[in-house]
């Protein structure tokens, strides 16, 4: 059950993150383009959510259980991915000039918050408002998330000098698309159907669970914690 207080907390998180992104954009010129991109995405999400409050399925409630479950699901996603042929997990390609600390902060914390807010909160609320079926929601949100992660590859394929190199990159890109699609499909499924599992009943309406899961996956990939289990691809 999503309470009014948890929905209010969600807005506080969104506006707080937007203020932080704008501050970093102003004070850190090398990272300005990245911060502006995230700011626009989050700003649109907040605008959409403000107009579709009643269709929102998620809130924010602080607690240790959602964090623990997020860690378990994040690690589990990585371990299961080891058995999927050609599975590739992507990290954003960010300008080296922004500095290693800021780059890590974006990948580990900013991206999970902004992306979960945009796709799992705002876009899901919009589709719910217009009475899309659950299957349609899962498919459309997963497609949008996957295409956003794949876009750099579609344009970058023309940089390869030979057809063999281009095809090799293309198949790698499909692997990245598939991993992003599966991840997002799973998260939307959990929001829509996860309440049928007793241990998840109050957790799948808490964005903290999904932010933790996303962040854990990015931690594992960024630091190559399970480097022998999967392929890491850099996108941007």
Beta pairing partners, 2: none
Query: What is the C-alpha to C-alpha distance for residues 91 and 141, in angstroms, rounded to an integer?
Result: 19
**13 pLDDT more than 90:** yes
pLDDT score of 161 more than 60? no
Q: What is the mean pLDDT of the chain?
A: 80
Task: Give residue 39's pLDDT.
Answer: 94
pLDDT band at 194 (very low <50, low <70, confident <90, very high): confident
Q: What is the DSSP letter of 172?
A: H
What's the pLDDT band for 162 if we cut at 50, 70, 90?
A: very low
Tell me which residue range forms the domain holding 57. Answer: 4-235
The answer to whether residue 197 scores a pLDDT higher than 80 is: no
What confidence tier does 233 reach under pLDDT thresholds 50, 70, 90? very low
Does residue 2 carry a pLDDT above 60? yes
Question: What tokens appear for 144 in the block?
Answer: 């949008």
Q: Look up residue 84 and give its DSSP letter.
A: S
Query: Per DSSP, which regions of the chain are E strands?
Result: 88-92, 231-235
Q: What percent of the chain has pLDDT over 70?
A: 75
pTM to 2 decimals?
0.84
Alpha-carbon dihedral of residues 204, 207, 212, 218, nearest 10 degrees? 110
In the predicted structure, residue 125 carries a pLDDT above the cut 80: yes
Q: 214, 116 in Cβ contact below 8 A?
A: yes
Domain count, the chain: 1
């Amino acid at each position: 059950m999503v309470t009014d207080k948890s929905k209010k907390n969600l807005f506080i998180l969104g506006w707080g993150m937007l203020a932080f992104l704008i501050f970093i954009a102003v004070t850190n010129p090398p990272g300005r383009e990245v911060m502006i991109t995230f700011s626009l995405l989050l700003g649109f999400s907040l605008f959409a959510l403000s107009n579709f409050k009643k269709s929102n399925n998620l809130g924010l409630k602080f607690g240790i259980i959602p964090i623990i479950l997020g860690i378990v699901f994040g690690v589990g996603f990585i371990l299961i991915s080891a058995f999927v042929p050609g599975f590739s997990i992507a990290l954003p390609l960010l300008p080296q000039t922004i500095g290693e600390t800021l780059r890590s902060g974006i990948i580990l914390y900013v991206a999970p918050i902004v992306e979960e807010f945009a796709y799992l909160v705002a876009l899901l609320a919009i589709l719910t408002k217009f009475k899309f079926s659950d299957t349609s929601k899962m498919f459309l949100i997963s497609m949008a998330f996957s295409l956003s992660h794949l876009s750099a590859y579609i344009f970058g394929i023309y940089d390869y000098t030979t057809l063999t190199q281009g095809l090799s990159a293309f198949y790698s890109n499909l692997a990245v698309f598939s991993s992003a699609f599966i991840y997002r499909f799973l998260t939307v499924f959990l929001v829509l159907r996860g309440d049928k599992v007793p241990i998840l009943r109050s957790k799948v309406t808490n964005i903290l669970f999904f932010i933790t899961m996303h962040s854990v996956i990015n931690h594992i990939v960024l630091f190559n914690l399970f480097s022998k289990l999967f392929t890491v691809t850099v996108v941007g």
